Amino acid sequence: MIELRRAEGAKPLIIGHRGAMGHAPENTMASFERGLALGADLIELDVHLSADGHLVVIHDPTVDRTTDGRGYVRDMTLAQLKELDAGSWYGPEFAGQRIPTLPEVLEWARGRVGLVVEIKNGPVFYPGIEERVIEALEAYGMEDEVVVISFDHRCVRRVKELRPRIAAGILYVGRLADPVAVARAAMADALHPNANYLTAEDVREAHRAGLAVSTWVVNDPSWAQELAGMGVDSIGTNYPDRLRSVC
């Protein structure tokens, strides 16, 4: 299992949010390459299922915002999705970037960088997506190099039930009354709260319970420094280079 907890006093890991989406079109190979080049310790990405059952790397349930196409990912085959331009919307220099598959990213990352794989499950739900993700991770020998996360905590629990060795974390926005209990219910190894709702006491409670704390999305170095002082284990950012100066 990937090591999520940092030693006391150690700097937090930097997670490149959707690669380095402040510098390149999110969830594309160009963004992942840029994130790694700018010093990200881990690369975060999102996965949905295509109409023909392929794991595709895109944030939204539709292709409308980040490609030149229209429609739901679930209604399009991989071949149809691969025809879309996923880079021109960001800038002409990224024209021709395609929607990657999870296997393509795993092949690229293996031996280079760990991944944070967010399973998108809601408002569009994908029955069996957990098994598909696990199959892909095992096919590329990446089980110990990834953290699987989701806002769907039942999805997190399913991954842990199937493969306890794969690290997993629960995403949430807000202050849970008992985040440790929620993590336990999901069999999670880590909390992934939005940074706007995180306090030093939350971090202490999580660490006392043996849970790692990874927060997001932080683009201001001074804020990252404050969170590092709280003892967070990792920080997601659109600009890995900005945080590299303090983390």
Return the active site residues: 17, 59
Within its chain, how far is the Cα of 18 from the centroid?
7
**Residue 221, C-beta contacts closer than 8 angstroms, at least 6 positions apart:** 242, 243, 245, 246
Q: Give dist(CA 59, CA 26) in Å, integer.
A: 8
Please report how the helices 129-139 and 102-109 are oriented relative to each other, as an axis angle in degrees rounded to 10.
30
Within its chain, how far is the Cα of 125 from the centroid?
18
Choose among 80, 99, 77: nearest CA to 89. Answer: 99
Cα dist from 247 to 14, 125, 217, 220, 232, whole Å: 7, 36, 15, 12, 11
Q: Give dist(CA 215, CA 174) in Å, integer.
A: 12
